[in-house]
Amino acid sequence: MAALPPDAAVEAAASSEPEEGELVTNRRVILKRYVTGCPTEEDMEVVVGTLRLVVLPGSAAIVVKNLYLSCDPYMRTRMSRHDQPSFVPDFVPGEVLDNWAVSKVMVSGHPDFKPGDLLCLLTGWEEYSLITNPKVYHKINHPEFPLSYYTGVLGVPGITAHAGLFEVAKAKKGEYVFVSAASGAVGQIVGQLAKVAGCYVVGSAGSDHKVNLLMTKFGFDDAFNYKKELDLDAALKRCFPEGIDVYFENVGGAMLEAVLRNMRPYGRIAVCGQVSQYNLQRPDGAPDLFQLVGKRLRMEGFLVGDYGGEYRQRFEEKMAGYLKEGKVVSVEDIAEGIEAAPAALVGLFSGRNIGKQVVAVARE
């Protein structure tokens, strides 16, 4: 994902000629220090600055008002310094965090945008952002839904669920599908799409309330609270007496280990993420991968960024249809105000979020 313009660019534009445009207060979430172990709110700080709502004449910059910030586990991986380059750049202490958001264009020097346009784009964790060269953005084609859906069911988590389930794991009607972190942003969509496709679907989640949500709201066939199960292997055997065809992997660790023992021959594992590993300095050792040989399993990682362009557009239309027909529903957990953003991010790692974690910076 693209890095944000550095603070210097923001300040330069804010203080450069011409001195016109409203001067607004701009609260921003910065990384205070690199993180080891579990992130805490103290690793971040909300600082107050100002930004002038203006772009330099002749530039293709835009100034946006950020409405809904997406809060995602992968942001934790960016809070540590990596010696080897990761698939996304590390955050830098003293600089603003960034991620996907839904934002409104306030000022534009760019031919493709005008004030009032709503966009889903990469932007800062701040109230207003100057984006000097907007490259990665998507139009909001279905404003009839809550705008926050573009951080969830109609955005990155939704595309991730669809691509992982159908392009990577190639789930088919009648198959046995298991998804971990099942009530979260990605997991809840995986389960519902698998049901629409005619699969038998089981999910795991970290509280009885979440398990109840899986069964009553999202239509899973079965679910269990992994924190209460003394033996994950036994829990999976109880839910899948004939084994698992498709595992949508969100957590890693002990769950992956148990799943491998319960896969059916020729099963597929879509490795979407491993949230149980993100706070560890040394990831858990590899599980028993010899299971892949005997059962002829396929295990494949993927990144949602590989499913843009036309795939994204087709997905948006398909998902908008499912939402209108009531085949898919979305549960969101909305934290109010930019000050709530650090706690919302930290909460992902104790399972405090119930559904897609969003931060509402401003509601329109």
Judged by CB under 6 A, which of 185, 223, 232, 299 binds ligand NAP?
185
- Binding letters toward ligand NAP, positions 96-135, x by CB under 6 A: ----------------------------------------
Residue 221: CB minimum distance to ligand NAP, A? 18
Binding to ligand NAP, residues 255-314 (CB under 6 A): 272-276, 302-304
Nearer to ligand NAP, 78 or 104 (CB): 78
Residue 118: CB minimum distance to ligand NAP, A? 22
Residue 353 interacting with ligand NAP (CB under 6 A): yes
Judged by CB under 6 A, which of 186, 232, 297, 320 binds ligand NAP?
186
Residue 210 interacting with ligand NAP (CB under 6 A): yes
- Binding letters toward ligand NAP, positions 54-83, x by CB under 6 A: ------------------xxx---------
CA distance 6 to 50: 15
Interface stretch with ligand NAP, choices 95-103, 177-185, 235-243, 284-292 (CB under 6 A): 177-185
- The dihedrals phi and psi of 311, each to the nearest 5 degrees, come to -60, -45
Interface stretch with ligand NAP, choices 35-43, 229-237, 313-321, 352-360 (CB under 6 A): 352-360
Residue 348 interacting with ligand NAP (CB under 6 A): yes
Q: What are the residues binding ligand NAP (CB under 6 A)?
A: 72-74, 156-157, 160, 181, 183-187, 205-207, 210, 250-251, 272-276, 302-304, 348-349, 351, 353, 356-357
